Each structure stands twice: as structure tokens, then as C-alpha cells.
A and B are shown apart, each in its own frame.
Chain A
């Protein structure tokens, strides 16, 4: 594990921590954007070009902006009067540690079940495209249907407000 991985891992974890501990909500949103960027760079470090750039395009370009708009259009942007930590923080810490242990154990044990490959497989965008249109075309169409339904739902939810009496 080389130095680049450690730098990126530190950036991601610190941004994630900042996202939950900062008081100002918009600062938290910007920190979560930093965490997304760290994840994207980790993908790029693993030579997954398409996944890394799609992560930047979708998460930082769309999801982060959505989060920021949501914070601004509601009243969450005021600095909270009390602190951000709840009183039962120790129980939360225990549960988070337990989930992390279970996930880590599962990932470590599943490494033995992967097929042994000597070289790092280079996945080009063309292979992803052929897989999406060939083997995985049915999940692709179902996801497209889901996205269309989500968009229609958003339009209906937004439109309903105009019909209400002022």
C-alpha cells in the first residue's frame, strides 16, 4: 500500500469526520464533498477510470449541489444553539464499531473466495459499455424506469404546490 493510498485515505476519513462534527451545516456539506472527492481519487488510484470520473461527475457535480440547495432552501443553515453531539454518543460509537468489525471481517474473509489473478485487470470504458448493453441490459432498463418514475414523482410533488389556495 503506497504513500498515495495513505494520503487519500487520510483526506477521505478527515473530510468524513469534519462532515459530522462541524457546527455550520453548509461547512458540513462542503466537507462531505471533500469526502466524495477522496473516494473518487481512490477509484482513480485503483485504475478504475470510469468509476472515478463518474463519481466526480455525479456526486460532486450533482449530489453535492443538491445537498447544498436542500440546506439553503430549508432553515437548516442557521448555526444550532446547542452543540451537535447527542448525549448517547457512547452507545452510537459502540454500534458503529460493531458494524465496522462485522463488515471488515466479511470483506477480509471474502478475499479468499476471489479468483486468483496475477495482473491488475484493465477495465476500459468499452468493456463497461459492452457489459451494460449485453449481459446487464435488463438491470439497466429497470434502473432507467426507476429514474423516470423518480423524475415524474418530483415533478408531481413540485406541481401540487401551485394548486393549493394561497
Chain B
């Protein structure tokens, strides 16, 4: 059947209201929610997957398909909160790996990329305004780095120990607050400042590029903290309770 845009449009329109399942074609998943493409490198799934289903592809790459779908569904459906029972039925062995891969993506790729945008953009700005904007982003960047570092040094090893059945004494998930509110606010502020209050001498294209990338990062990070809050914490709490028994 020829896939004319109209057909695809209708299909996406209908499908976007349902959770994804393993028998869907990966290509359809991406058509329904194009930003899911950003998740593929975090799972080491390369492009060029033809008409393979999600299940086939995950099997080929050694990924638990239910875990992959959990992440895709959270990214695609706002307010989708999986129950703890549902999470417990899922193979969560990749959770650590996935979260760390996301951190690498933000730190090694997105933030440096946005930083370059901002440098080019502020180069045109007179007075100290450019310095101030750069400094604002730098501070934001440092906060993100510190937050991720805390998680990588405390939360992730804790989860690893629990999963391996080792003693997890010395740390409890109750000490961890995934709240990125303050960090998220800063990113939102940056977009507000850029499209509402930038001086006129700044080149529009540079700003547009930066704003797009920041909005995309902001959305991605919100989902990332949502996963930490609604999946990671309840899951680790469950493992801690289990260990105490």
C-alpha cells in the first residue's frame, strides 16, 4: 500500500493516543513521535532498521523490549505514570546504563553544542550583556554537571549494588532528591530571555538555532527527571524494602 502523507497523518493522529507495543514497526514509532530518535543512540540502536518491529530490533541488540517501550511511552505520553507493579514486571537491568547514557548525551553533546550557539550569538552583543548571558549559561551548565555527578557517584552505584544483591548500607534513596526544578527554571528563563528580551543587534538565525536546541533539551531533561522521579525512586525503594526483609 503506498504510504501517502495523508495516510500517515491519519495513522499518527490515531496512534499517538495509545501506548506503543512491541509489534509496532520501529519506523512507525519514530513517525508518530520523531523525537524518540534521540533515544536510539542511548540504547545503541543504529539507524537503518528497515521494517523491523520494535521487538525484533531490541532482540537483535540485546535490549529488554519492555524496558525500551517503557522509556518510549514516557517520552511520548505526557502524564503516563507506570505503576510499581508494572515496573516490577519489566526487566530493569538496563536502567542504570540508560540513565548514564542519557547523562553522557547531555554533557558531551547537547550542552557543549548549546554553549557554542550562545558564544556565537553573544559575540555580536554590545556592552556586558553578552558576558552576562554567557555567564548565566555557564552557571546553569555547572549546576547540571554537579547534579549528574551526585547521581553517578551515589544513586547509580547504590542501584547497582541492590541489583547485584550486595549490601547497600551507607546510602538510602531517601537522601536523594531528583528535583531539578531550580535547574529547569533556569533553562526556561534562558528561552524567555532569548525570545523576549534580546538586544536587536543579535543575529536572528543564531538565536533561533539556540532557542530550538534549548527547548528540545529542556523537554528531554523534564522527561529524564520524570523517569528518575516516577520510575527510579519507587523502584529503588522497593529494592531497599526487599533487602531489609
Q: Do A and B bind each other?
A: no
Show the binding face of A for B, using Cβ within 8 Å: none
Show the binding face of B for A, using Cβ within 8 Å: none
